[in-house]
């Protein structure tokens, strides 16, 4: 069993790095919190880590659209060695490593073109638009996991209760070809669900009106995951608003912690994924 190392970006408006680090540490991994500016000025190598993490927050105040300014900074900024960060990120993915983006981090991955990257050009293919409600949504939602999901984050998980807190979380796809590929390969792996566990467009169960009721998206490798709900905010039953009503088996760990344990166990055990094509 190999030790698992995770890197968590912070700075420039990111504010959920502490909770994400706690999640990985509780799951048995190490977690280094690194300011994005340090990445560009100190020569830190992402290739010494197994998972890169883009936490939630309000990068650059969301003034130019959620996650857009940070995505452009990461995509076009050059590292001390002269190469672009996006090129290093592509190598990181090709080497079989993992990337997780939550809320604002999901928006960053989408705007960079890292996710879903159907065409392989690392250009933006989908978007996270303003919520149908026209306001910031801060509530708990129930999410379902597609049975055919290839993401090891969701191994053995069928549903999760998780909080959302976003103003721009509506998953939209304007290109019908991209939309069909996402549907064909089951890339919208996490969905907002109704009381019976089915995908729903009904507000407030679906807080934003996403296409496919999408709450989370993977790429075709299954190694890149972006999601709007916050698993790092549900690490203990004490986080849940209805803690006293939870079944006995949920009395200690939260649903979000299950995801982090899954990915740490997957990497630690040396299991690999096989790309089934885009």
Specify the DSSP element, H or E, that contains 140.
Answer: strand 137-145
Q: What is the residue whose two structure tokens read 């069993």?
A: 1
Whether residue 182 contacts residue 116, with contact meaning beta carbons closer than 8 Å, is answered with yes
| pLDDT on residue 272 | 53
Q: Which of 58-67, 84-93, 96-105, 123-132 has the lowest mean pLDDT?
A: 58-67
Q: Which of 55-64, 194-203, 217-226, 243-252 has the lowest mean pLDDT?
A: 243-252
CA distances from 267 to 28, 32, 49, 96, 251 (A): 11, 17, 11, 10, 27
| pLDDT on residue 62 | 65
Q: Which of 80-94, 186-200, 213-227 has the lowest mean pLDDT?
A: 80-94
| pLDDT on residue 247 | 64
What is the bridge-based pairing of β-strands 224-227 and 98-102?
parallel
pLDDT tens track for 240-268: 777 766 665 555 678 999 999 999 999 99
72, pLDDT greater than 80: yes
- pLDDT confidence of 278, banded at 50, 70, 90? very low
Q: Which of 13-27, 64-78, 154-168, 194-208 has the lowest mean pLDDT?
A: 64-78
* Residues recognised as catalytic: 103, 230, 232
| pLDDT on residue 241 | 79
Q: What is the residue whose two structure tokens read 């939550």?
A: 102
| pLDDT on residue 3 | 86
Q: What is the mean pLDDT of residues 83-97?
A: 92
Between 227 and 79, the higher pLDDT residue: 227
Cis preceding linkage at 31, omega within 30: no
Residue 140: Cβ-neighbour burial (10 angstroms; 0-12, 13-18, 19+): middle
- pLDDT confidence of 43, banded at 50, 70, 90? confident
Q: Which residues, 6+ apart, have CB-to-CB distance to 82 below 8 Å? A: none
- pLDDT confidence of 1, banded at 50, 70, 90? low
- Number of CB atoms found within 10 A of residue 151's CB: 29
Domains identified in the chain and CATH numbers: 5-268 (3.40.50.880)
| pLDDT on residue 41 | 86
b/e map of 204-240 (b: 16 or more CB within 10 Å)?
ebbbbbbbbbbbbbbbbbbbbbbbbbbbbbbbebebb
CA distance 80 to 95: 22
């Amino acid at each position: 069993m190999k030790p698992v190392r995770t890197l968590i970006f912070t700075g420039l408006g990111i504010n959920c790095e502490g909770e994400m680090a706690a999640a990985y540490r509780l799951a048995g991994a190490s977690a280094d919190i690194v300011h994005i500016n340090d990445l560009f000025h100190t020569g830190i190598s992402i290739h010494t880590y197994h998972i890169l993490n883009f936490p939630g927050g309000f990068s650059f105040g969301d003034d130019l659209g959620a996650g857009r300014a940070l995505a452009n900074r990461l995509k076009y900024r050059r590292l001390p060695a002269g190469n672009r960060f996006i090129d290093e990120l592509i190598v990181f993915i090709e080497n079989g490593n993992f990337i997780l983006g939550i809320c604002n981090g999901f928006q960053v991955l989408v705007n960079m073109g890292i996710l879903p990257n159907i065409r392989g050009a690392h250009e933006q293919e989908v978007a996270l638009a303003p919520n149908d409600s026209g306001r910031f949504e801060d509530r708990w939602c129930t999410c379902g996991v597609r049975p055919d999901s290839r993401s090891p984050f969701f191994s053995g998980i069928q549903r999760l209760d998780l909080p959302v807190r976003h103003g721009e979380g509506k998953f939209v796809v304007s290109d019908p070809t991209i939309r069909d590929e996402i549907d064909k390969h089951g890339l919208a792996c996490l969905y907002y669900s109704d009381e019976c566990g089915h995908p729903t467009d009904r507000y407030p169960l679906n807080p934003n009106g996403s296409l496919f009721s999408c709450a989370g998206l993977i790429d075709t490798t299954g190694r890149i995951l972006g999601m709007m709900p916050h698993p790092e905010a549900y690490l203990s039953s004490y986080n849940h608003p209805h803690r006293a009503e939870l079944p006995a088996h949920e009395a200690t760990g939260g649903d979000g912690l299950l995801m982090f344990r899954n990915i740490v166990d997957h990497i630690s055990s040396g299991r690999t994924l096989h790309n089934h094509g885009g």
